[in-house]
Amino acid sequence: MKKMSLGQFVGNIFRVKMPPDMRAVVQRVSKAEVRVEGQMVGRIGRGLLVLVGFSTDDTPEGGMAMAKKIVNLRVFENDEARMDRSILDAGGGVLCVSQFTLYGDCRKGRRPSYSRAASPEAARPLYEAFLKSMGELLRASDVSLSAGRFQAMMEVESMNDGPVTLLLDSEKVF
């Protein structure tokens, strides 16, 4: 039997359908782009920049749950200047960038430990499944989807709008 964290146990009790350990940093941006070796590989105007990390326990189904959470976050302002609209309502773009360093554990010493981060071989299919899920959720909308390049050294440039930055962690560590 697979060991279950307290967050997963409580989530099962209340039927919360969040991924086991996936993490994301979601920023509302005016614009964002990602470059690899000086070449632009992804760019959006107004929308969401999503930095996503995968743990050793993640599944493709967890990626779908996280994608649903992200596209339905109400972080865009309505006519009364109240954050009450999702990216699906507001339109724009989503730029997804894989970032294993979201699992950097800095509690001991000065060098982060990445022992909970999924290996590149395990994370690649999870990232691809996450992007596929995101694409399926955005398909019927006016929202574009762009992505960084998995396991590449990337330069990410963004202009945070608000600023609005949210940390999503299914274990609710933060």
The one catalytic residue among 27, 101, 151, 174:
101
* Domains located in the chain, CATH noted: 21-104+111-169 (3.50.80.10)
Does the annotation mark 150 as catalytic? no
**pLDDT, tens digit, 9 for 90 and up, residues 6-58:** 444 434 433 444 445 789 999 999 999 999 999 999 999 999 999 999 998 88
The one catalytic residue among 8, 76, 99, 130:
99
Q: What are 32's strand-pairing partners?
A: 44, 158
**pLDDT, tens digit, 9 for 90 and up, residues 84-97:** 999 999 999 999 99
CA 78 to CA 25: how far, in whole Å?
Answer: 23
Helix (DSSP H) and strand (DSSP E) numbers for the chain: 4, 8
pTM value is 0.86
Does the annotation mark 101 as catalytic? yes
Does the annotation mark 99 as catalytic? yes
CA 52 to CA 67: how far, in whole Å?
Answer: 10
Residue 43 carries which side chain, given as an amino acid letter?
R
Cα dist. 159→14, 33, 46, 109, 129 in Å? 37, 10, 9, 32, 27
The one catalytic residue among 100, 150, 151, 174:
100
